[in-house]
Amino acid sequence: MPLEHDVALDEENAVTHPDPGQILLYAGTKSVPELLVPYGFCAFTCRAGGLAGNHVITLDNDSSSLSSLGHTLIYEGAQPLILRLADGGE
């Protein structure tokens, strides 16, 4: 689905090697924005070299469910994503 608005986002505490559950937002320069959801060791790169994304969310789930999600995405493709704040969270 094409974006209706450009995302203008400067790097802020940008990360290239996130831990499992540290979701990164990459606004891109000539590409579409991306969310990176690492579920194991991860180096955020592309064919042209290393990338860095802003750490915007940390998931409080155990890594086994993240690993399961990662394998589902690899073998079944894109999946719906719903993010909710935890009760009492900010």
The count of domains in the chain is 1
Q: Is residue 36 part of a domain?
A: yes
pLDDT digits (tens, 9 = 90+) for 69-87: 888 888 999 888 777 777 6
Question: 56: which residues sit within 8 A by CB, 6+ positions away?
Answer: 23, 24, 25
Q: Is residue 37 part of a domain?
A: yes
C-alpha span between 55 and 48 (Å, rounded): 21
Q: Is residue 23 part of a domain?
A: yes
Q: Is residue 82 part of a domain?
A: no
Q: Is residue 88 part of a domain?
A: no
Range of the domain at 42: 14-76
Q: Is residue 39 part of a domain?
A: yes
pLDDT digits (tens, 9 = 90+) for 36-66: 888 888 898 888 888 889 998 888 766 677 8
pTM for the structure as a whole: 0.68
Q: How far is CA 60 from CA 27, 73, 77, 78, in A?
A: 24, 20, 24, 22
Closest CA to 26 of 59, 56, 71: 56
pLDDT at 20: 87
